[in-house]
Each structure stands twice: as C-alpha cells, then as structure tokens.
Amino acid sequence: MDALSMPASSTSGEKMQLTGVMIARTFAALAMSMALLSAVGTAPALADTAAIKSLMAATWDKPDARLLVEPVVVADGYAIASWTQGKRGGRALLRQEDGKWMIILCSGDPLKSASSISEVGVPRATAEQLARLLKEAESILPPGQVALFSTFEGVVHIDDGEHGHGKHFDGN
C-alpha cells in the first residue's frame, strides 16, 4: 500500500513509516543508478589496466619469477603500475600513445610524488591525480607488499622499444 491508496483512517505514524520506506527506496534506486554509471565509467580503465598488466608481464615475467602488477592507476593517458617480482618491487610510469601503452620509466618511491611525476613531462594536474589515486590504491594493500614497491632504487628511463633493462626484475 502506498501513500496514495492509504485509507483516511490511517494514523500519522503509519504515514510516516510509509514515507520513510519510500525515501529508502528512492535512495536505493539512486545508489543503484550511480553504481551503474560508475561501472560504465570504469570499463575503459579496466581495459587499460588489463593492457598494462599484459605489457608488463610480456616484458618481464619469468617462469621462475612471476611479475605481479597491482595496483594500476590511470589518468588522462598516463598510468602508474606498482609491481613485485620475488623479493623486489617498484613502480612503472606509462603513457598511452595512439591507443597503445608504453613504459616511460621504472622507479620506486619517486613515483608517489606529483612533483617527481610532473618532472618527466606528465602535466601537473594529471601527476597530482596519479599520485592521489596511487596513494588510495596502495593504502588497501598489505604493508609488506607496499614496502616492496620501495625496493627499487633510482630511476630507469626506458627507451622506445627497449624494455629489457634487467637486473631489478631478476626476482631477487
């Protein structure tokens, strides 16, 4: 029974209870609509994440030292992918060109800083967004995993087409 068909003899308490139910249903419908809109918006990000993980695995994964890439954050044609391999880890900065992801550089903690990210040519607003998204994404991971991302020392720039820069991906 809704408020329109409620008998005139109904108490105000019943009417308030019914109004509360209607409000709850409205909020539930609104929440579902927002979730659907969010899911539509994340479809490209999921495809980008899969492409980035595939690129990195094809480049550095080894049968005896699996490359685990998680998390990946994407903003405006740039991405940061945190990775572990054995007892080591780090972060990679990527750029999308003509629909294809390319690794720009590998590093550790410098890729947590918007200023460091923008120093390599990422627009400042995008660098700030990437740093914020990375902080949020890594905050839900186990501390031990996040600590491995910091074991990469320095910054290694990746030349176009040359991804086999080796020793930090040796699984040790």
Residue 24 has what pLDDT? 43
More confident residue, 23 or 155: 155
Per residue in 153-170, pLDDT (tens digit) is 999 999 754 444 433 333
Q: What average pLDDT does range 100-110 have in this prediction?
A: 97
Give the span between the Cα atoms of 146 and 78, in whole angstroms: 21
Of 50, 108, 110, 40, whose CA–CA distance to 74 is shortest?
50
The pairing of beta strand 78-85 with beta strand 67-75:
antiparallel
Per residue in 49-95, pLDDT (tens digit) is 999 999 999 999 999 999 999 999 999 999 999 999 999 999 999 99
What's 65's DSSP letter?
B
**20-24, 62-66, 121-125, 131-135: segment of lowest average pLDDT:** 20-24
pLDDT band at 110 (very low <50, low <70, confident <90, very high): very high
**Residue 168, both tokens:** 């930090």
Phi, psi of 136 (to 5 degrees): -65, -45
> pTM above the 0.85 mark?
no
Residue 117 has what pLDDT? 97
Residue 45 has what pLDDT? 79
